[in-house]
Structures are given as structure tokens and as C-alpha cells.
């Protein structure tokens, strides 16, 4: 039927059946009898009509009747109350099409990808269904009628609107991405009374610079303003929820002010967004969700006391302030939460917390870690933090766990203080080539390979009261021990514990060598730095475990002797 050009149907025929003239690409004229009442699905799909008048006696219209009719220049619609789905999909050749005043409903994809000169909507319209005008960019702007109208998925995605767009209360958005990729919109004014902005409503509006939010707004759904040029956001106190990816890829966003009621910020909300910004998170926020600030640059960040968890990748690959303090109520740091971060030099963890896998992996500028609560450090947590120099743990009352590779390849690490009751798994500090001084608290359990390839260890400082389990494990460091908290009455017991393991050790508070002939073991005074102040230095340095920066500086001097 490829050569068919003109069709005349006889009187008495009432139906044109599904796809009856589909792909008759040269068909450009048809004569319909008065008896025709029904045209079924795809009846004239991909035909060559230039003009067409749909008579009023045709009351039953199927879907896609004139889709892919790319030669259409003129079309007169009848008095039907709706235009069926896919009816003009991929059709028209820059045509001025008038939708009759009788039409109240535009069905799914009815004008999708069509080439129209303008979209003129009558006052009768009440609903515009999914993809109705999707990717239907017209030279003239779309003007919505001044009546209540319901909008559905992607209905105006990629269309031409005025640079100032007013989302009034008469425009009732019922689904997602309604104005997505409308590149001419530069400013959005959301009218008071609107409570929710649906998913992706203005996503990919690449020239959108400014949004005015009303005091009635409560919810901004996911990706609502993704990939726009918004440069400043001020949210009213009424907003409680910001969805996943809402402001992701907003590369020009420099300032955001949260309202007082925000209690949920979705995953990836600001991914690839904030640049050189002082971030003050809302006071009711409980969780910083996955990848929320990934690839951002933050000059400062205030984490409120309400936050208990920082989720997976929340600050991955961020430029961070020099110091971050994780307050005592944060109990979980997720996998890769601070992976590949830079500019952060000092990290302080003030409470009991679990650090997830590779949480600080390759935080390239981190130099100092302070922990003041029970800690569980998961595999590879600080691996490749190549500038990390000191780890200080305060006094704790519970179990501390460091899993394999937790600080592997921290090649600048020089001094560590491990709190009481800590477990160090295999290779916890492997490849820490510059590690020189280790302080082990009481009750520590050390895997034989915990300090694998730490070839420059000079001293391991521990309490005599400890069970000395690690003596059986890390024999490579057998002559590097300095014992603290020991009296002369304990020497015999100490000799027994050291028998067959070492030939000498150091003791704080001892003023001259003490030799045990029976076992051939000598106890030496601690090196010169410990003998200052008439052998009383240990009372502050070790016995009370007050490892301030000043004390670590003294220990560092010890390594130079």
C-alpha cells in the first residue's frame, strides 16, 4: 500500500480498524462518509497527510491515530472532550494547532515530540496527562489557562515557558518531572498555599537561577531542582523534608539557609553542589544521608547535637575545614563517609562510635586523630592517610576494636596511644614505616601481625599490670619495651614474665640498671627523657595517661636519642 495516495470510503462504513492505513506513507487524502463514527488505534500511523479535518460525527477515537504524521501542516479537531493518548505523537511540521474549547482532557503523550508553532490551551482544559507535550518545544511560549488544571508526569518536559514562571495554586501538580528540562525558565515563584513540590518538577531547567519558596511549603521531593543554576536558597520554617538529590549538580549554589523544621535531608541532596560555603545544618536533623555532600567544598560545617549517624559516602571527595569535631551523640560513621577528603587536618571523635569500612580512606591531609570514646574501627578505615602523624586515645571504660588494615599505609604515622582494652587485628598498622612510639593501655590484645612492616618502632610503652599477652606475639619488638607503673617489689615477677623472651627492658622510675643473674635479664632506666625531674616524669606522662601534645613532643625527642 506504499503507493496509495487517495482513499474514498463508501457510505455505510462505520469503522476504520486498527492500523488499517498505517505506513501508507504517500496517503495524503481521504474522504470519510457520514456513517463513520469510529477510528481505531494507529489507523493513520505514519501516513503523508498534509491537512485533515476530523468530522464531528466521529465520536470514538483510538490511541495513536495520527502519530508519526510528520507532514501535517493543518488539522481541525472535532468537538470531542479529550484527545486520546499518542494521538499526534511525533507528528506535525511546525503547525499552528488549535485545541477546541470542548476539550477537557489531554491524554498521555498525545503531542509528545510534535513540532508545533505554539501550544494554545483553552480555558476548558482540566487535566494534562503524562508526557502530553513532552519534548514539544515551540517558538512561542506556553501559557497555562487561568483555571484549575491537573498536571501529570513529564507533561511539559522540554517545553518553552516564560523566563519567569509562576506556579500558582490553580496549577495542581499530581506527579513527577512536570516542567523538567524547560530551559527558558530563569525564575520560579511558588505561590503561597502550595505544600509540596513533586519529584523532579524543575529538574534540568539549566538556566533556572532563583526560586521563591512560600511559607506554606512543607515538602520538596527528590531531584526537584537537580541540575539547575540556583545560586541561593532560603527555605521557610514550614519545610520539614528535602528529598534525595533535590539540589544535586547545582554547581552555582553558594548559599543555603535551612528552616527551623527540617528533620530529613535525602541522600545525594547536595552532591556536586556547594562550593566554598559555610554549612550550618538544621537543628532537628538526625542522619546525614548517603552521598549527601559528595564532591562539595565546605569552608566550615556545624553538625548539630541531633545527628546520630553520618551515612555512606556523605562527605566523600569533599574539601573540608581544617578541623572537624564529631560530637558524642554520633554513634555511626558509614562506609566511605569521608573517603578521599582533603584539607581536613585534625579529626576529633568525642563519643563512642563505629567507623565503617574505608570511612576515611585516603583523607590525604589528615595529620592528627583524637578519640575520646569507645571506638570500633572497621577494615581499611584510615588506609592511605599518608600524612597522619599522631593518634591519641583518651581513657575509655569499654572495648575498643581495630580491624585489619585500619591504619595500613599511614606512612607518616609516628606516635600512637592505644587506650585500655583495645583489640588490634592483623595488619592494623601495616606499612606504617615511620611509626616509632607506641603506648599500649592495659588489657590490650595484639595480633602477631598488627604492626607488620613497621620497621622503625623504637619504644613500646605499657603498664606492668598488664597481662603482657603481646609479648608472645610481637617478639620483633622484644627489646623496645618501657614498663610503667612498677615498683621494686614487682621486679621478680617481671623477670619471670620476661624469661626466655627478652634479655633487657626499660622501666620508668628506675635510676640505675637492675640485673637478674638467674635469668640473665637486665632492667634499664627509661631513656634520658624519662629521667628528668628526678624520675617523677612518669606520674604525668604515663601513670595518669595524660597524653597531651606537650608529652608527645617529649616522646618524639626520645626517638632522636
- Which residue did the predictor score with more confidence, 492 or 43? 43
Angle, vertex CA 103, rays to CA 100 and CA 105, nearest 5: 145
For the chain, how far is it from start to end, CA to CA, in angstroms? 99
Rounded Cα–Cα distance for residues 39 and 65 (Å): 7
Q: How confident is the model at residue 468 (pLDDT cuts 50, 70, 90)?
A: low
Averaged pLDDT for residues 227-247: 97
Helices H / strands E in the chain, number of each: 4, 42
Residue written as grid cell 479537531: 77
**Lowest mean pLDDT across 120-134, 389-403, 485-499:** 485-499
Q: How confident is the model at residue 544 (pLDDT cuts 50, 70, 90)?
A: very low
CATH class in words for 161-271: alpha beta
Nearest of 147, 150, 148, 143 to residue 165 by alpha carbon: 143
Strands in 249-384 per DSSP E: 255-257, 264-265, 277-280, 287-288, 298-302, 309-310, 323-326, 332-333, 346-349, 353-355, 368-371, 375-377
| pLDDT of res. 538 | 34
Rounded Cα–Cα distance for residues 254 and 7 (Å): 63
Averaged pLDDT for residues 93-107: 93
As a whole number, the mean pLDDT across the chain is 90
DSSP string, 379-409: TTTTTT-TT--EEEE---SS-EEE-TTTTTT
Q: How confident is the model at residue 546 (pLDDT cuts 50, 70, 90)?
A: very low
- Greatest distance between any 2 Cα atoms in the chain: 127
Give how far Cα 110 sits from Cα of 54, 95, 175, 428, 457, Å: 16, 15, 17, 63, 75
| pLDDT of res. 465 | 67
Rounded Cα–Cα distance for residues 375 and 352 (Å): 5
Rounded Cα–Cα distance for residues 139 and 420 (Å): 74
Q: Are 14 and 40 in contact (CB under 8 A)?
A: no
**Lowest mean pLDDT across 132-136, 251-255, 445-449, 554-558:** 554-558
Cα 7 to chain centroid distance, Å, stands at 60
pLDDT at 193 over 70: yes
Pick the CATH number of 1-160 from 3.80.10.10, 3.40.50.300, 3.30.1130.10, 3.40.50.2300: 3.80.10.10
- Over residues 44-64, the pLDDT tens digits come to 999 999 999 999 999 999 999
Environment class of 161 (CB within 10 Å of its CB; exposed 0-12, middle 13-18, buried 19+): buried
- Over residues 216-230, the pLDDT tens digits come to 999 999 999 999 999
pLDDT above 70 as % of the chain = 91
pLDDT at 553 over 70: no
Rounded Cα–Cα distance for residues 78 and 97 (Å): 12
Q: Are 130 and 152 in contact (CB under 8 A)?
A: yes
pLDDT at 549 over 60: no
pLDDT at 378 over 50: yes
φ, ψ dihedrals at 155, nearest 5°: -60, -35
Per-residue burial over 283-321, b = 16 or more CB atoms within 10 Å of its CB, e = otherwise:
ebbebbbbbbbbbbebeebebeeebbbbbbbbbbbbbbb
Rounded Cα–Cα distance for residues 85 and 106 (Å): 8
| pLDDT of res. 434 | 95
| pLDDT of res. 560 | 46
Predicted TM-score of the model (pTM): 0.85
| pLDDT of res. 235 | 97
Averaged pLDDT for residues 370-397: 95
Rounded Cα–Cα distance for residues 413 and 390 (Å): 6
pLDDT at 381 over 90: yes
**Lowest mean pLDDT across 361-375, 394-408, 499-513:** 499-513
| pLDDT of res. 345 | 98
Rounded Cα–Cα distance for residues 315 and 146 (Å): 45
215, containing H or E segment: none
**Lowest mean pLDDT across 118-127, 385-394, 485-494, 543-552:** 543-552
Nearest of 136, 187, 184 to residue 157 by alpha carbon: 136
Q: Are 542 and 461 in contact (CB under 8 A)?
A: yes
Nearest of 495, 526, 529, 501 to residue 513 by alpha carbon: 526
* Bridge partners for 424 per DSSP: 402, 446
What pairing do the DSSP bridges indicate for beta strands 171-173 and 149-151? parallel
Averaged pLDDT for residues 259-280: 91
Q: How confident is the model at residue 558 (pLDDT cuts 50, 70, 90)?
A: very low
Q: Are 251 and 274 in contact (CB under 8 A)?
A: no
Listed in sequence order, the residues at least 6 apart from 538 whose beta carbon sits closer than 8 Å to its beta carbon are 484, 485, 508, 509, 526, 530
- Going from N- to C-terminal start, the domains of the chain cover 1-160, 161-271, 308-457, 479-561
Q: Are 204 and 228 in contact (CB under 8 A)?
A: yes
Listed in sequence order, the residues at least 6 apart from 343 whose beta carbon sits closer than 8 Å to its beta carbon are 319, 320, 321, 322, 365
* Residue 398, all three cell numbers: 569499654
Give how far Cα 327 sits from Cα of 40, 168, 318, 349, 464, Å: 67, 43, 20, 7, 34
**Lowest mean pLDDT across 3-12, 174-183, 241-250, 530-539:** 530-539
Residue written as grid cell 519534548: 135
| pLDDT of res. 1 | 66
| pLDDT of res. 396 | 84
Whether 308-457 and 161-271 are alike in CATH topology: the answer is yes
pLDDT at 561 over 60: no
Tell me the three state secondary structure of residue 124: coil
Tell me which fold the domain 308-457 belongs to.
3.80.10
| pLDDT of res. 537 | 31
Listed in sequence order, the residues at least 6 apart from 188 whose beta carbon sits closer than 8 Å to its beta carbon are 165, 166, 167, 202, 208, 210, 211, 212
| pLDDT of res. 467 | 53
| pLDDT of res. 530 | 52
Listed in sequence order, the residues at least 6 apart from 490 whose beta carbon sits closer than 8 Å to its beta carbon are 464
**Lowest mean pLDDT across 247-256, 364-373, 545-554:** 545-554
Amino acid at each position: 500500500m506504499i503507493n496509495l495516495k487517495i482513499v474514498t470510503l463508501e457510505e455505510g462504513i462505520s469503522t476504520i480498524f486498527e492500523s488499517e492505513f498505517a505506513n501508507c506513507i504517500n496517503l495524503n487524502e481521504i474522504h470519510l462518509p457520514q456513517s463513520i463514527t469510529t477510528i481505531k488505534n494507529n489507523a493513520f500511523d505514519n501516513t503523508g497527510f498534509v491537512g485533515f479535518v476530523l468530522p464531528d460525527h466521529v465520536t470514538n477515537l483510538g490511541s495513536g491515530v495520527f502519530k508519526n504524521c510528520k507532514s501535517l501542516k493543518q488539522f481541525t479537531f472535532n468537538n470531542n472532550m479529550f484527545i486520546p493518548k499518542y494521538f499526534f505523537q511525533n507528528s506535525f511540521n511546525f503547525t499552528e494547532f488549535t485545541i477546541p474549547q470542548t476539550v477537557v482532557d489531554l491524554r498521555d503523550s498525545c503531542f509528545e515530540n510534535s513540532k508545533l508553532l505554539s501550544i494554545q490551551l483553552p480555558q476548558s482544559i482540566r487535566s494534562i496527562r503524562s508526557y502530553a507535550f513532552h519534548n514539544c518545544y515551540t517558538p512561542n511560549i506556553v501559557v497555562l489557562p487561568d483555571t484549575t488544571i491537573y498536571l501529570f508526569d513529564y507533561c511539559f518536559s522540554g517545553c518553552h515557558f516564560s523566563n519567569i514562571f509562576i506556579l500558582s495554586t490553580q496549577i495542581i501538580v499530581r506527579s513527577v518531572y512536570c516542567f523538567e528540562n524547560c530551559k527558558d525558565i530563569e525564575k520560579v515563584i511558588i505561590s503561597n498555599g502550595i505544600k509540596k513540590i513533586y519529584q523532579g518538577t524543575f529538574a534540568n531547567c539549566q538556566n533556572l537561577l532563583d526560586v521563591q519558596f512560600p511559607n506554606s511549603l512543607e515538602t520538596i521531593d527528590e531531584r526537584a531542582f537537580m541540575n539547575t543554576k540556583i545560586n541561593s536558597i532560603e527555605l521557610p520554617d514550614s519545610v520539614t523534608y528535602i528529598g534525595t538529590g533535590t539540589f544535586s549538580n547545582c554547581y552555582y549554589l553558594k548559599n543555603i539557609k535551612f528552616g527551623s523544621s527540617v528533620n530529613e535531608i535525602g541522600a545525594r541532596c547536595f552532591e556536586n553542589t556547594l562550593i566554598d560555603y559555610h554549612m550550618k545544618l538544621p537543628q532537628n536533623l538526625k542522619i546525614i544521608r548517603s552521598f549527601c555532600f559528595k564532591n562539595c567544598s565546605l569552608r566550615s560545617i556545624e553538625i548539630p547535637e541531633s545527628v546520630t549517624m553520618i551515612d555512606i559516602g556523605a562527605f566523600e571527595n569533599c574539601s573540608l575545614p581544617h578541623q572537624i569535631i564529631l560530637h558524642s551523640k554520633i554513634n555511626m560513621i558509614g562506609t566511605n563517609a569521608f573517603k578521599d577528603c582533603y584539607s581536613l587536618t585534625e579529626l576529633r571523635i568525642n563519643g563512642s562510635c563505629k567507623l565503617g569500612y574505608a570511612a576515611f580512606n585516603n583523607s590525604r591531609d589528615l595529620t592528627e586523630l583524637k578519640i575520646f570514646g569507645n571506638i570500633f574501627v572497621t577494615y581499611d578505615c584510615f588506609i592511605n592517610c599518608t600524612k597522619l602523624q599522631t593518634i591519641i586515645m583518651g581513657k575509655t571504660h569499654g572495648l575498643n576494636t581495630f580491624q585489619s588494615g585500619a591504619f595500613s599505609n599511614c606512612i607518616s604515622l609516628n606516635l600512637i596511644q592505644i587506650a585500655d582494652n583495645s583489640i588490634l587485628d592483623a595488619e592494623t598498622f601495616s606499612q606504617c614505616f615511620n611509626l616509632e612510639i607506641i603506648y599500649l593501655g592495659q588489657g590490650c590484645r595484639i595480633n602477631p601481625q598488627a604492626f607488620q612492616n613497621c620497621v622503625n618502632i623504637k619504644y613500646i610503652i605499657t603498664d606492668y599490670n598488664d597481662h603482657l599477652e603481646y609479648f608472645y606475639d610481637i617478639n620483633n619488638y622484644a627489646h623496645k619495651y618501657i614498663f610503667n607503673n612498677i615498683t621494686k617489689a614487682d621486679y621478680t615477677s617481671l623477670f619471670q614474665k620476661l624469661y626466655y623472651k627478652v634479655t633487657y627492658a626499660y622501666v620508668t622510675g628506675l635510676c640505675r640498671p637492675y640485673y637478674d643473674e638467674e635469668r640473665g635479664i637486665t632492667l634499664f632506666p627509661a631513656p634520658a627523657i624519662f629521667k628528668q625531674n628526678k624520675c617523677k616524669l612518669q606520674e604525668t606522662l604515663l601513670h595518669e595517661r595524660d597524653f597531651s601534645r606537650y608529652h608527645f613532643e617529649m616522646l618524639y625527642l626520645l626517638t632522636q636519642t
